Chain A
Amino acid sequence: MQFSRDALKAAYTRMKVIREFEERLHVEIQTGEIAGFTHLYCGQEAVAVGVCEHLGAQDRIVSTHRGHGHCLAKGCDVDAMMKEIWGSREGLCKGKGGSMHIADATKGMLGANGIVGAGAPIAVGAALASRVDGPGPDGLNIAIAFSGDGACNQGTTFEAMNLAVVTHAPCIFVFENNHYSEHTGFQYAVGTARDIASRAEAFGMKAWRADGTDFFAVYETMREVLAHVRGGGGPAAVEFDTERFFGHFEGDPQRYRAPDELSRIRATRDCLTKFRASVTSAGLLSDSDLDALDTEALDTIERAVTAARAAPRPTPEDVLSDVYISY
């Protein structure tokens, strides 16, 4: 791998901002200040960042109900996202979407999605748009469908994979296998009892597998995947084995976990800890470099929360706008 110190710092910062964004929400939700349902991405940061560090604004992604990490990794504004989750009219979606419906098309982020499995066909559509436009100097713009091991059981995902293969669409199906679809284990719910990538292979596309808690494994895998898809090789799939540090939703008692499971995965499968160990042992960055980035990330989140708390609330009239462009 060839990373400059700046590139390493940027990747670490993105992961750390996602981590602190989510850890802070976990605290704030318990105060009752934030309304609605929230699904935290903690533990999976290396996937979103390892994938999106390769992408430009012309590449598009479609996300899930657990979408904060994908949004931040694709460049959505931290303050505007926090305001959205607080329900402010200055939020990224004017307080009309909330946690599960954050989008910023100008950044190529076509939406988190409250319906499990709904995103994959939308990503194929974005990839077909790129096929109409044809390749640029760096090949085709691509579209990515982020899906979990839950969404891999939805028919929409199957339809989307087949349509992508049939139309040779430059679409990448990124499956984040965190071993839980809501409150049900992967071993029970995925009938192949093996993996998800083999399903993608069965649909006729090339598939990769990698450790989703290792940023460098994600990044290097995606380099290969993107070369294949941007070069016109057709759709592809990647399955990243990863961990979810919180419950399905905030408030989930997680009685399905083994007694020591959360402490064990936090100790052994934390992508930030692993990143730190890699770069310090290789002498690329020092602990003090990373500590400084940690402090910056915490400051970023503190500022975002302060701004979200002070941001103006929507008014009853706002209910009626933004349904149509013209009506």
Chain B
Amino acid sequence: MSTMMYRDAVLSTIMEEMERDSDVVVLGEDIVGGMGTPGGPEAIGGIWSTSTGLFGKFGAERVIDTPISESAIIGAAAGLALSGKRPVAELMFADFIGVSLDQIWNQMAKFRYMFGGKTRCPAVIRMAYGAGYNAAAQHSQSVHQILTGMPGLKVVMPSTPADVKGLLRTAIRDDDPVIFLEHKALYAMSGEVPDDRDFMIPFGHARLTRAGGDVTLVSSGLLLGLCEAVADTLAAQGIGCDVIDLRTTSPLDEETILDSVETTGRFVVVDEAPPRCGLGADLCALVAEKAFSSLKAPPQQVTPPHTPIPFARELESAYLPSVEKIEAAVRRVLNWR
């Protein structure tokens, strides 16, 4: 095992996979950084430090620094993938899916189906998502609720450096298009990571991070840590929470969720995307449909409100789920009747 940061787990996994397989190529804006400037290539090395050193090691054919052209980046990734390569495209901010959505949704997600199962589109689109930096409405969003609803895509939301390692490797080696969502506020998180260069975590297998038995808490990404903090606080008061990290929202590990709810009868989902037609609503519907007889209280969602993400510190804090809001939801389901 090694200790490394979440962002270094991203970079080292890409590096290892590029060394292993010459079909792996990366592309995105400023992933080299400094092209066409006095500072020269790699003056920056990517704004998230998730591509530093790739250009020098693998060259311009496999490390493609692009103009700010998100449709072309994703479209080129689609074309590379249809042509036998394994592109790993970076969207600098997840919010930029807005300008490239056709290539994600109408193109790469649908190729295999539209073409009768006769093509492969092994593309990974990495994107930095999430709030917490007062970056306001266009640089802070969680977009998994949009993408999870699109048949043909797989959607991955790692919450630890080890999960980055295992899930990103799986994503790069996967033959379907994969959306890989990296939370900005986790990039500096440090954790133990296996050294095995074939360490992979299969998609659709959630992780039970706390076993308590009284309430089921489901989350992913940054908010998983808040759920664990709440669980630890409540455990000291004799209240046991099952905390489930989804890891992937598509495919969805229904079994792990339903198994827990059948024991606890109480369900809280904590999500960073707005409440309507989102992951929280989806999972509440799941437990209502498939675990109704086990339920002792109505399923609860802890999400931001149905508003854009505000800028000011006080407003963003008020907008986001917090340990207080999560704990209140847990107490609501515990105290129901």
Point out residues on A near B: beta carbons under 8 Å: 60, 62, 84, 91-97, 101, 103-106, 110-111, 113-115, 118, 120-132, 134, 143, 155-156, 159-160, 162-163, 166-167, 321-327
Contact = CB atoms under 8 A, between A and B. Distances in A.
Contacts of B84: 129
A325 to B, nearest CB: 4
Given A118-B106, A118-B107, A325-B176, A125 B80 contact: yes
Interface string B113-139: 111111110000000000000000000
B85 interface: yes
A110 B112 contact: no
Nearest to A145: B79
Given A162-B69, A167-B64, A126 B174 contact: no
Nearest to A129: B83
A122 B78 contact: yes
A94 B118 CA distance: 9
Contact of B66 (A62, A105, A166, A322): A166
Nearest to A132: B61
A118 B79 contact: no
B83 A130 contact: yes
A81 to B, nearest CB: 12
Given A94-B116, A159-B69, A125 B75 contact: yes
B255 interface: no
A111 B120 CA distance: 12
A93 B114 contact: yes
Interface string B147-158: 000011010000
Contact of A125 (B67, B83, B174, B204): B83
How many B residues touch the partner, as a band?
Answer: 35 or more
Nearest to B24: A132
Given A62-B79, A101-B114, A156-B71, 15 more contacts: A93-B115, A96-B115, A115-B102, A118-B107, A121-B75, A122-B75, A122-B82, A126-B80, A129-B79, A129-B83, A131-B61, A163-B73, A163-B76, A323-B112, A326-B175
Q: Which 10 A-B pairs have the closest CB atoms?
A: A125-B79, A121-B75, A322-B117, A93-B116, A94-B116, A129-B83, A125-B76, A159-B72, A159-B69, A122-B79
B205 interface: no
Contact of B85 (A120, A121, A132, A323): A132
A119 B275 CA distance: 35
Query: B75, B102, B120 — which one has the most chain A CB atoms within 10 A of its CB?
Result: B75
B204 A121 contact: no
B81 A118 contact: no
A162 B251 CA distance: 36
Given A125-B87, A325-B175, A103 B80 contact: no
A156 B119 contact: no
Contact of A122 (B67, B107, B112): B107
Contacts of A156: 71-72, 75, 102-103
A118 B112 contact: no
Given A111-B114, A322-B113, A125 B61 contact: no
B71 A159 contact: yes
A160 B234 CA distance: 54
Nearest to A165: B67
Given A94-B117, A163-B76, A60 B152 contact: no
B112 A132 contact: no
Contacts of B151: 323
Contacts of B116: 84, 91-97, 322
A165 to B, nearest CB: 10
A144 to B, nearest CB: 12
Contacts of A103: 111, 114-115, 118-119
Nearest to A156: B71
B14 interface: no
